[in-house]
Amino acid sequence: MSSTWIIVAFILGFLIVFQIAKASEYVAILRGEERNRKESNRINGFMLLAFLIVGLFGVWYCNHTLKDKILGEPASDHGVRIDTMLYITLAITFVVFVITQVALFYFAYKYQEKEGQKAYFYPHNNKLELIWTVIPAITLTVLVGFGLYYWFEITGEAPANAQTVEVTGSQFKWEFRYPGADGKLGKRYYKEIDPMKNNPLGQVWADPANQDDIVTSQDLHLVVNKPVKLVIYSKDVIHDVGLPHFRMKMDAVPGTPTTMWFTPKFTTKQMKQKYGDEFVYEISCDQMCGKGHFSMRGTVVVESQAEYDEYMAKQKAQYALANEAAPAATPAAVPTAVPANDTTKPKAAMPTTVQGAAASQKTH
């Protein structure tokens, strides 16, 4: 029933707009179409000029108000470079934006229809087209070149002393694996994944390097001023590791591990002192991955080496969790001890039900 009323409302709205347009057309004819057009041109020209002034003020105000209040300063070494590249791009495009927008709206105001003024026909200019094609092409090539340079550095080989952490995404959570004392991550195989057997990542227990690996699904712990290499996996669909405060992101692709590395500059405590106690480093999924995508968020904890070591000392290796010995079953009957000098073979313990049947036969 509600759908019917919505359709009726749309039809009535269309009819009303159509009638208003027709009425405006009749009024224009009565007043004089040429006079009406000139008045509309003056009004539109003035409104375009006002929009230019208000719009440029709005751009400045938004930048001034929100510049450092959304993410704050970059919290990684690569993040500083990414921000620098972004600011250079914004500076170049801002100059082009101001020139083109001022020209667009000012010309619409200045060259509106007037008595005795005729439009100048200027259809083609090879020199002008060459200038506005070659200069942007060179500029964009330089910007893309810097972007590729940073990209290959971020995804390239991490320093030898880098911490290694494995990040695995699945609908809709993050799981983290840290190497143990050997500093190596053990092998994994997707067919070994079995959460019921405490093997959520498919670790191969036959690999000795797996026996001290630590798996958590809570916070991602990193050491300040120490490079970290993230090895990224996905169990199901494409996810994306988003680290906005570090200005980093990388796709998590099923069956294809990806990597990136960076160096955190500030601890979580230092960022809280700068931006308030509510501050948290966030790891989010930046790729639409299903209906629970909005909830796929986690926390990154950046701390000192001592705090990191203390946290790891409290964790238990996943191998130990998956291979904990089950408590021994209580025996049904304990055979009588045989003296040391007794060489006779002890009789097997008779089941309780059989003992009862034998006793019943003796009474009869």
User: Which of 306, 322, 338 is the C-terminal boundary of a domain?
Assistant: 322
pLDDT of residue 242: 94
Query: Which tens digits make up the pLDDT trace of 9-41?
Result: 888 888 888 788 777 766 666 666 667 777 777
Indicate whether 173 and 47 sit together in one domain. Answer: no
pLDDT at 334: 43
Q: 103 and 45 in one domain?
A: yes
* H helix runs in 32-125, sequence order: 33-66, 77-110
Query: Are residues 87 and 196 located together in one domain of the fold?
Result: no
Q: Does 327 reside within a domain?
A: no
Residues 298, 184 within the same domain: yes
Which of helix, strand or coil describes residue 271?
helix
Mean pLDDT in residue range 270-291: 91
Paired sense of beta strands 173-178 and 163-170, if any: antiparallel
Contact 281, 176 (CB under 8 A): no
Burial 90-105 (b: 16+ CB within 10 A, else e): eeeeeeeeeeeeeeeb
Do 210 and 278 have their domain in common?
yes
Question: What per-residue confidence (pLDDT) applies to 236?
Answer: 92
Give the dihedral sign, CA 117/122/128/132: positive
Mean pLDDT of the chain: 83
Q: Which amino acid is at 338?
A: V
Q: Can you tell me the mean pLDDT for 258-264?
A: 95
Q: Is residue 150 part of a domain?
A: yes
Interatomic CA distance for residues 351 and 357, integer angstroms: 10
Q: What is the pLDDT of residue 179?
A: 94
Kindly report the CATH number assigned to the domain that includes residue 290: 2.60.40.420
What is the pLDDT, as a whole number, of residue 201?
93
* Residue 331: per-residue pLDDT: 47
| 236 falls within a domain | yes
Which single residue is written with the structure tokens 């010995």? 325
- Whether 224 and 304 have beta carbons less than 8 Å apart is answered as yes
* Distance (Å, whole) CA 225 – CA 76: 9
d(CA 351, CA 311): 52
Residue 55's domain comprises 32-114+125-154
Place of tokens 């495009």: 93
Residue 341: pLDDT over 70? no
In a domain, residue 144? The reply is yes
In this prediction, residue 4 has a pLDDT band, given cuts at 50, 70 and 90, of confident
What is the structure's pLDDT at 107?
86
* pLDDT given for residue 335 in this prediction: 45
40-66 confidence digits (pLDDT tens): 778 888 888 888 888 889 888 888 888
Q: Is the same domain home to 318 and 204?
A: yes
What confidence tier does 223 reach under pLDDT thresholds 50, 70, 90?
A: very high
Together in a domain, 196 and 286: yes
Alpha-carbon distance 111 to 119, whole Å? 8
> Tell me, what's the pLDDT at 173?
93
> Does 284 map to a domain?
yes
DSSP state of 298: E
Q: Do 63 and 167 belong together in one domain?
A: no
Domain co-membership, 37 together with 85: yes
With respect to residue 70, please indicate whether it lies within any of the assigned structural domains: yes
pLDDT at 328 over 60: no
For residues 42 and 59, membership in a common domain is answered with yes
